[in-house]
A and B are shown apart, each in its own frame.
Chain A
Amino acid sequence: MTSTPHDEASPGTAEAAVRGVAPAADPKQPVAYVLAEYSTPEALVKAARQVYQQGYTKFDAHSPFPIHGIDDAMGIKFTHLPWFTFFAGGLGIITATLLIYYTNKEWYPYLISGKPLFSIPSAAPVMFELMVLFAAITTLLGMLALNRLPLFTHPLFQSTRFQRVTNDKFFLSIDARDPKYKSEKTIQLLTGLGAEYVETCHKEASAPLPWAFRTAVFLGLLLAMVPVSMVAWKRSTYSREPRIRVIFDMVSQPKKKTQTTSTLWQDGRAMRPWVEGTIAKGELKADDAFYRGLKPGGLNAVAATTVSMTNLVANQDGAAAAAATPGAPATPPDPLDKLPWIEDFPLEVTPELMKRGQERYNIYCATCHGLGGVGNGLVTIRAIELAEGTWVPPVTFHSEGLRKQPIGRMFHSISNGVRKMPGYGDQIPERDRWAILLYVRALQKSKFAPLSDVPPEKVNQLTDVAP
Chain B
Amino acid sequence: MSHALTPEHSTTGSHAQAGSWKEHQTLGALAGKIWLPALVTGVAGLVVAAGAAAFTGGLRQFLFAYLTAFMYVLSFTLGSMLFVLVQHLTRAGWGVVIRRMQELIASAVLPLSILFLPILVAVLMGNGEVYQWNNPAFVADHPLVQAKASYLNSGWFTVRAVAYFAIWIFITRFLLRNSLKQDQTPDPSITIKLEERSGPLIFLFALSCTFAAIDWMMSLAPEWYSTIFGVYYFAGSMVGSFALLNLLIILLQKPAGLLSPISVEHRHDTGKLMFGFTCFWAYIGFSQYMLIWYANIPEETLWFQARQNGGWEYVSLALIFGHFFIPALLLLRRQFKRSKSQLAFVSVWLLVMHYVDLYWLIYPQFAPSPVFGLVEIGALVGLVGLFVAALVKAAGQHSLLPLNDPRLDESLKFHNI
Given A115-B294, A121-B294; A86-B289 close (CB under 8 Å): no
Are the C-beta atoms of A113 and B296 separated by less than 8 Å? yes
Docked-complex contact B290 and A122, CB < 8 angstroms: yes
Residues in chain A near residue B290, CB distance under 8 A: 121-122, 124-125
| Residues of chain A lying within 8 A (CB to CB) of residue B125 | none
Please state if B294 and A68 are interface contacts (CB–CB under 8 Å): no
Assess A69 versus B332: contact at CB under 8 Å? Given A115-B294, A121-B294.
no
**Nearest chain A CB to B158 CB, angstrom units:** 34
Q: A71 CA to B417 CA in the complex, in Å?
A: 8
Asked if B293 lies at the interface with its beta carbon under 8 angstroms from chain A, I say yes
B413 within 8 A of A: yes
Asked if A82 is at the interface of the complex by the 8 Å CB criterion, the answer is yes
Q: Are B332 and A86 in contact (CB under 8 A)?
A: yes
Complex CA–CA separation, A458 to B417 (angstroms): 79
Residues in A whose Cβ lies below 8 Å from that of B314: none
Contact-residue bracket for chain A: 10 to 19
Q: How far is the CB of A81 from chain B (nearest CB, A)?
A: 11
CB distance from B188 to the nearest CB of A (A): 24
Contact with A along B291-310 (1 / 0, CB 8 A): 00110100000000000000
Q: How far is the CA of A65 from the CA of B2 in the complex (A)?
A: 10
Q: How far is the CA of A68 from the CA of B3 in the complex (A)?
A: 14
Q: Is B254 an interface residue, CB under 8 A from the partner? A: no
Interface residues on B, range: 10 to 19
B33 CB within 8 Å of chain A: no
Residue of B nearest to A68 (CB): B415
B1 touches A65 (CB 8 A): yes
Bound Cα distance from A65 to B1, whole angstroms: 8
Q: How far is the CB of B2 from chain A (nearest CB, A)?
A: 9
Contacts of B415 in A (CB 8 A): 68-69
A335 to chain B, nearest CB (A): 43
Chain A hits for B289, CB < 8 A: 121
A439 to B84: give the CA distance in the assembly, Å.
Answer: 61
Report chain B residues within 8 Å CB of A69: 415
Instruction: Please give, as numbers and ranges, the residues of chain B lying within 8 Å of A115 by CB-CB distance.
Output: 294
Which of chain A's residues have a CB closer than 8 A to the CB of B296?
113
In the docked arrangement, what's the CA distance between A71 and B332, Å?
A: 22
In chain B, positions 403-417 with a C-beta closer than 8 Å to chain A are 413, 415, 417
Please give, as numbers and ranges, the residues of chain B lying within 8 Å of A86 by CB-CB distance. Answer: 332
Residue picked from A69, A86, A121, most chain B C-beta under 10 Å:
A121
Decide if B334 is an interface residue (CB 8 Å cutoff).
Answer: yes
Q: Give per-residue flags for A65-87: 1 if the beta carbon is below 8 A from chain B beta carbons, else 0.
A: 10011010000001000100010
Q: How far is the CA of A113 from the CA of B290 in the complex (A)?
A: 15
Compute how far the CA of A14 lies from the CA of B156 in the bound complex, rounded to whole angstroms. 84
Chain B residues within 8 Å of A125, by CB: 290
Q: Flag whether B286 is at the interface (Cβ < 8 A).
A: yes
State in angstroms the CA–CA spacing of A113 and B296 once bound together: 10
Q: What are the interface flags for A87-124 relative to B under an 8 Å C-beta threshold, 1 for contact and 0 otherwise?
A: 00000000000000000000000000101000001101
Known: A122-B290, A122-B294, A125-B290. 7 other contacts (CB 8 A): A68-B1, A69-B415, A71-B417, A121-B290, A121-B293, A124-B286, A124-B290
Chain A residues packing against B (C-beta within 8 Å): 65, 68-69, 71, 78, 82, 86, 113, 115, 121-122, 124-125
| CB pairs A–B below 8 angstroms (21 shown) | A65-B1, A68-B1, A68-B413, A68-B415, A69-B415, A71-B417, A78-B334, A82-B334, A86-B332, A113-B296, A115-B294, A121-B286, A121-B289, A121-B290, A121-B293, A121-B294, A122-B290, A122-B294, A124-B286, A124-B290, A125-B290
